[in-house]
């Protein structure tokens, strides 16, 4: 495989075609070697328009969804970011290219360990890996941006509570075959806005609360 040609085709034919035009996002996705994060048996489809399988029924999002996520978060160089669902580690590396500090949380220790090895080999300095279940212990502090890489059946308002003022949250809600990508922005001490971005389908976060948990 001609890696650089495949990478360019991925960006031009998939990511740009899905209206990802932010040059910083495109540059980050070009600079981070996606093929290094893909499990060896799937290396041949590293740049394909497909969700690459990972262990435990998880997946790498398609490149176009990753691009839309990064663009929607409107990331700044000084931002402090939380990623929920480390997966392969590719998105954490892209987030690290665009921001000051990334904390990435993964419920499966082996996924976190593998991602950590790749990030270390690539000398990505500003990613902190943690293992845990976000629904059992929400991280302390506030974040300028949060990326949730698995789906939730419904929006969990506790996630919005982790945002700083003007912070942005990307997540996917719903159940197959139709799920909706949302951008949530915190505009006050308690108030958040929600914007619908597009439809897609990704595996659910493990232990995500059922819809009845938020029916008041």
Judge contact between 25 and 147, C-beta under 8 A: no
Q: What is the pLDDT of residues 121-169, one digit of tens each?
A: 999 999 999 999 998 888 877 999 999 999 999 999 999 999 999 999 9
Structure tokens at 137: 């212990």
Residue 101, pLDDT score: 97
Q: What is the DSSP string of 35-66?
A: HHHS-GGGGGGTTSSS-EE-GGG-EEPPHHHH
Burial (CB < 10 A; 0-12, 13-18, 19+), residue 146, is buried
Strand blocks (E) in 85-177: 101-106, 127-131, 143-152, 163-175
Judge contact between 83 and 105, C-beta under 8 A: yes
Q: What is the DSSP string of 170-186?
A: EEEEEETTEEEEEEEEE
Report residue 213's pLDDT band, with 50, 70 and 90 as the boundaries.
low
Specify the higher pLDDT residue, 209 or 98: 98
Residue 216, pLDDT score: 42
Judge contact between 83 and 89, C-beta under 8 A: no
Residue 59 has pLDDT above 90, yes or no: yes
Q: How is the chain split into domains, by residue range? A: 3-214
Residue 138, pLDDT score: 82
Residue 210 has pLDDT above 90, yes or no: no
Q: What is the pLDDT of residues 3-34, one digit of tens each?
A: 999 999 999 999 999 999 999 999 999 999 99
CATH assignment, 3-214: 3.40.50.150
Residue 207, pLDDT score: 86
């Amino acid at each position: 495989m001609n890696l650089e040609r495949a990478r360019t085709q991925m960006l031009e034919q998939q990511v740009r075609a899905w209206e990802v035009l932010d040059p910083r996002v495109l540059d980050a996705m070009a600079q981070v070697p996606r093929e290094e994060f893909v499990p060896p048996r799937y290396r041949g489809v590293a740049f394909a328009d497909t969700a690459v399988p990972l262990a435990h029924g998880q997946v790498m999002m398609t490149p176009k969804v990753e691009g839309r996520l990064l663009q929607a978060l409107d990331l700044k160089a000084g931002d402090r970011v939380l990623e929920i669902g480390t997966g392969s580690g590719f998105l954490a590396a892209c987030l690290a290219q665009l921001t000051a500090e990334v904390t990435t949380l993964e419920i499966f220790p082996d996924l976190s360990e593998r991602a950590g090895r790749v990030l270390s080999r690539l000398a990505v300095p500003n990613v902190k890996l943690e293992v845990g279940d976000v629904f059992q212990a929400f991280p302390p502090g506030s974040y300028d941006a949060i990326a949730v890489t698995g789906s939730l059946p419904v929006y969990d308002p506790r996630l919005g509570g982790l945002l700083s003022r003007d912070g942005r949250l990307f997540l996917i809600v719903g159940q197959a075959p139709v799920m909706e990508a949302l951008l949530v922005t915190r505009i006050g001490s308690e108030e958040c806005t929600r914007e619908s971005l597009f439809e897609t389908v990704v595996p659910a976060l493990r232990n995500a609360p059922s819809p009845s948990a938020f029916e008041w």
